[in-house]
Amino acid sequence: MSNYEVIDLRGKFCPAESNWDTNDKDLGVVIHYNGPPVPDQGPNGGHNDIESWIQFITDLHREPGRFAVGWTFNGIAYHEFVFRKKVLWLRNYDAVLPHRGNKTWNYGSIALHVPIGVGQHAAPDTLRTLAERTSYHLKQLGLTRASVKGHREVGASECPGDHLMDDFVISYRAGNDLGG
């Protein structure tokens, strides 16, 4: 039994499908963060008004040329946001999303975003939810914990930051269900 709620928001901020393509996922799960610090941090980490933050990121991702010169994208580049005890489902799982700068992983993995930035830690309940949701996806894909990557491991980036790499990605692959 999960300790989190899945809220289906597909179609609320952008189409559930990607205008780039669809593809079955077979590589794993890639963990992301915001990069710059997230404003309006609550006492336990994470943006206080998650839906306004999703809209903000969606609008950024729609900017022409954001992911490549001359290219446009129809919405947010993550399948789900993980925030405290909620999973906010934003895109269909077969949607190809430009979240890594690596075509193979864009096509073959699920993108999970945690709304924190550099120097910020995810709240303990966010890390627990992230671990449970990552486990769910890996089970659906028939993959092991070795198939969980931080964005930096599959694309040129500092994402998901040192804290999320240590607190979650490395810890989770080592067998910790709580992510740190």
- Say how far apart CA 42 and CA 147 lie, in whole Å: 31
Output the pLDDT for position 179.
Answer: 46
Within its chain, how far is the Cα of 133 from the centroid?
11
How many other CB atoms sit within 10 Å of the CB of residue 166? 14
Percent of the chain with pLDDT over 90: 69
- Say how far apart CA 13 and CA 33 lie, in whole Å: 19
Radius of gyration (Cα) for the chain, nearest Å? 15
Give the CATH H-level superfamily of domain 5-11+22-173. Answer: Peptidoglycan recognition protein-like (3.40.80.10)
Tell me: the pLDDT tens digits for 55-114? 999 999 999 988 788 888 999 999 999 999 999 999 999 999 987 778 899 899 999 999
Q: What are the extents of the domains in the chain?
A: 5-11+22-173
Output the pLDDT for position 47.
Answer: 65
Percent helix, strand and coil across the chain, each to the nearest 5: 30, 15, 50
